Structure 1
Amino acid sequence: MSRRIELIALLAIDALMFSLAYALLYLARFEWQWFGQPKLYPMMFWLPMLLMTAYWVLLFAFSGMYRERYAESRFDELVSLFKVVTVGVLILVFAIFIDTLEPSSSREAIFFYWASVYGLVSVGRLGVRTVQKALLLRGYGVHKALIVGWSDKVEQLYSEVSRYPEAGLKIVGAIRVARPGEQPPVSESEGDGAAVAVAQVGTSACTIEALPRLIDELGVQDVLIALDGRDHDALLEVLRLCDGKPVKLKLVPDFYTLIGGMARTEHMYGLPLIEVLPEPMPAWEQSMKRLMDVTVSLLVLGLGLPLWLAIGLLIRLTSPGPAIYKQQRVGQHGRIFTLYKFRTMYVDAEARTGPVWATKDDPRVTPIGRWLRRWRLDEVPQFWNVLKGDMSLVGPRPERPYFVEKLSREIPLYNRRHRVKPGITGWAQVRWKYDSSLDDVRQKVKFDLFYIENMSLRMDLKIIFRTIYTMLAGKGQ
């Protein structure tokens, strides 16, 4: 089934099971009186049930229970469900149940409700996953996969994937890396007419550089890497080309020693693969990060609205042109979005020079713009980008497509910055000065990669506090 149908099915079955669990608790407490004579009878049934259902759905969403769990073990999902339901019931105990239950029967009632929620939701989710697996076996909702590897390895991995249809992978193409002296076929097809691109390292006709184009053209969701343990350079090149692309990288286990710290081993129905560069933050921290983004953005934009309107009016009065400057930037997974800033330069500042970095005492900056840059107030409209989901409060700064194309050719792993949402501020911004040369960008990329590999709420808060200090000290440029 498609991701949208999967999400709708999970939400619907979970909501039904949460409602049934509450109904069972209601009957057991007030109708059957399994836990003693209740202190008081509720005046309503439907409203508390709806509120309890909403509570559980929000908690599941916050805990990552609605993230894609493609072809993962159902047992692993039940373990995750056990943890979330246990935490959820404990929250309810201290928030509600502790004052409403009889001391002598409280433990029995709490356990009954926990068992009802866990049991019913487990049954519902197992039903959804069983249907999903049956559809995968019939070819519905499979992930499109591309193989990169030596010719003999491609054949071997293709055979392995075909042997496990329940893994939900369909090979739609391959880049065959020919060994020195080999002459690969000009073109070839695999499976059900899947397009196969042939690449030979060291030739100009077709190289491994075709990987990003094939990912886009074939709609690839997984890249399976079948290289030998000595092919370090080829693997690093694959990682570089896939950086910023919305694909999962999975290795045949030969390379585990090379990328140990960046990998997570998984077995998809007997098909051993190693996932490279998994999600940098756990689901609950990602939910908290997004909640913090929305809350802070609403507060900044709402409480400071009179000041932002005054700044916009001042910009219009002191120099011709709009108050808000719009610019195309590259976001997560290489998506282009429109970034908003208070205009700090004269109109058409790059008409003669083309895209260039700002410099110290830049003559293109207006007098009011210089003041806004010093106090970092020109970035305030980007809180709207954060609300829209294009950006986050903290992350690598988004760059213009012109510079992304240029820098990705000159700086290794530059596109890895696009694995996460760009930010209004970031580790590079609080640790390094403004970009004025390629060397500055190289230094910032190091800080950005460090942030991505060590992302956490604690680090985000540290960066935000440092940014506030930089603003109050007037150290902007």
Structure 2
Amino acid sequence: MSRTAYLRFRYILSDCISVTLCYFIFNCIRYTVEDKSPTFGELYDFIFNLKAYVVGIIFVLFWIGLFALSGYYNNVENKSRLDEFPTTIISTIIGSIIVFMGLVVDDVVLDTSVYLKLYFYLFSLMTIVVYPIRFIQTTIEIKRYKSLHERDKILLIMNDEATSLPIEKTLREEGKIILDKIMIPTSNMQHQEADINIQQHINEIETCITKRNPDIIVVYIEGKHLECFSLLLYGLYKYKIPIKVPMRSMLFAGAKVKVRGMKGEPFIDLTDTNMSEWEKNVKWLFDKICALILLIITSPIMLILAISVKFSSKGPIIFRQERIGLYGKPFMIYKFRTMYTEAECNGPQLSKDGDKRITKVGRTLRKYRLDELPQFWNVLKGDMSFVGPRPERSYYIKQLVNVAPYYYLLHNVRPGITSWGMVKYGYASNLKEMEERLEFDWLYYENMSLQLDLAVLCYTIYTLIKGSGK
């Protein structure tokens, strides 16, 4: 079990114990305040019976699920006692309302003011019991982190155009341990030579990661040939280790910074986004539930469309194509086929107005974007989200990074069926238009939120109704 998994298990276990304790104490309060002795007899009989056990299990599962949705278990290695308090308070307020409505509101009482007292008792109890235990556990973990054997272990990757001494000094002042330093020479090299040189070092880096097992990868790159390092970052993403760059590094690209806590580390996590943890969890849950519902609801429509595609021209009903998704991982995207099978016999080509490769049925599907319906399966699988940067093929990504070296940052989030770029710009017919649309995807990445996702979905629905796809 990894350290992250172990810490997450400990936080979940401590919350389970806290919530269970709250459940039994709250039932004692309910018994006393509501005067249930005539109906249930002794307190022991009210608390310890089969129904109470079943409700108790549901009670605990509900609270753990709510805490998970709040993002409390996401970054267990970077807990902040200051951040824990508002997270706990907000969760307990919302959870207490739901529990009150499901567990207490149907209780028979002589005075309705008892309901308000019971809600106050439930909220106060959850806060008083849950937060102190969390505070103590986080304090213990912070002290353990500060001990030598628990400090973050760093793999430092640099090119010879960057100065290492200031970075190494900063890392040591922050209590980090530099496991290894890998230098990639790029000065006095042409673009193609630098590209080959970086790829040759990827195997060395991967071997070091496997053997040394670092906690964080710090990449400090300066000078030219920055676009070549996107290949390096794609190779590092798969290890699911935080990748950080100094704020002064050219790889940072001036992206908006979201500060968590007061650690003061002058590094930006390239594997993180500006979306809060609870928003990430709600977005993930929304994707799964809605994808499943929409697959069921639209199945009759997709059956009709499948028959139409089958008789429109020779070839498969579903078009499969490799795209690059989260952390640079390839996946197969699914669409209803809208082109003739020999459409790309001369190599990859983007669609354009009046494209003769598109079938008559395909033109209608594209107009209302009905060809995208099979991608609900991609969302359910976890390859995609409903809203996110549009996934591209590696053929075009390699060209895009030459003009937009920071394209790799978009792969920190799942690609979407729809995107800000799709609703504000639409389909791209050439590389120049792809670059222009990329600006909207970058805006989305910099301002990710559930509110923005909702706005993009509303614009998408309007586009579908208007039939402005192509």
Counterpart position of 1:399: 392
Amino acid at match of 1:85: T
**Is contact 1:329-1:336 (8 Å) kept?**
yes
Deviation of the 1:456 alpha carbon: 2.3
Deviation of the 1:82 alpha carbon: 3.0
From the two aligned structures, give the one with the greater strand fraction. 1
Using structure 2 for the length normalisation, give the TM-score: 0.79
Q: Does 1:197 align with 2:206?
A: no
**Is contact 1:198-1:206 (8 Å) kept?**
no
Amino acid at match of 2:69: F
Distance 2:79 2:370 in 1: 46
Counterpart position of 2:312: 318
Counterpart position of 1:300: 294
Distance 1:104 1:375 in 2: 55
**Is contact 2:338-2:361 (8 Å) kept?**
yes
Q: Secondary structure at the match of 1:264?
A: coil
Any idea what the Cα deviations from partners look like across 1:121-157, whole Å, max 9, x if unmatched?
Answer: 3355456543686488474795644365513214413
Counterpart position of 1:371: 364
Closer, same or farther in 2 for the Cα pair 1:400/1:216, shift >3 Å? farther
Amino acid at match of 2:375: Q
Using structure 1 for the length normalisation, give the TM-score: 0.78
> Given the alignment, which residue of 112, 122, 125 partners 1:113?
122
- In the alignment, structure 1 segments of 5+ residues that lack a partner are 175-195
Deviation of the 1:336 alpha carbon: 1.0
> Given the alignment, which residue of 431, 434, 444 partners 2:424?
431
Closer, same or farther in 2 for the Cα pair 1:433/1:215, shift >3 Å? farther
Amino acid at match of 2:280: Q
Deviation of the 1:426 alpha carbon: 1.0
Distance 2:88 2:390 in 1: 36
Any idea what the Cα deviations from partners look like across 1:226-268, whole Å, max 9, x if unmatched?
Answer: 79xxx7x68987997787745342537999x994842426544
Alignment of structure 1 residues 437-456 onto 2, 5 Å: 437-456=430-449
Closer, same or farther in 2 for the Cα pair 1:85/1:334, shift >3 Å? same
Deviation of the 1:469 alpha carbon: 2.3
Count of matched residue pairs: 439
Q: Secondary structure at the match of 1:25?
A: helix
Any idea what the Cα deviations from partners look like across 1:433-469, whole Å, max 9, x if unmatched?
Answer: 3211121011101111111112222222222222222
Distance 1:254 1:376 in 2: 41
- Structure 1 stretch displaced more, 92-101 or 312-321: 92-101
Amino acid at match of 2:164: S
Deviation of the 1:63 alpha carbon: 0.9
Closer, same or farther in 2 for the Cα pair 1:320/1:140, shift >3 Å? farther
Distance 1:237 1:347 in 2: 34
> Given the alignment, which residue of 140, 156, 161 partners 1:146?
156
Counterpart position of 2:11: 10
Distance 2:340 2:96 in 1: 58
Distance 2:292 2:184 in 1: 51
**Is contact 1:430-1:466 (8 Å) kept?**
yes
Closer, same or farther in 2 for the Cα pair 1:226/1:3, shift >3 Å? same
**Is contact 2:324-2:392 (8 Å) kept?**
yes
Q: Secondary structure at the match of 2:78?
A: coil
**Is contact 2:154-2:216 (8 Å) kept?**
yes
- In the alignment, structure 2 segments of 5+ residues that lack a partner are 41-45
> For the aligned residues, what is the CA RMSD?
3.8
Identity among equivalent pairs (%): 29
Amino acid at match of 1:364: R
Distance 2:302 2:4 in 1: 40
Q: Secondary structure at the match of 2:274?
A: coil
Distance 1:389 1:66 in 2: 20
Counterpart position of 1:462: 455
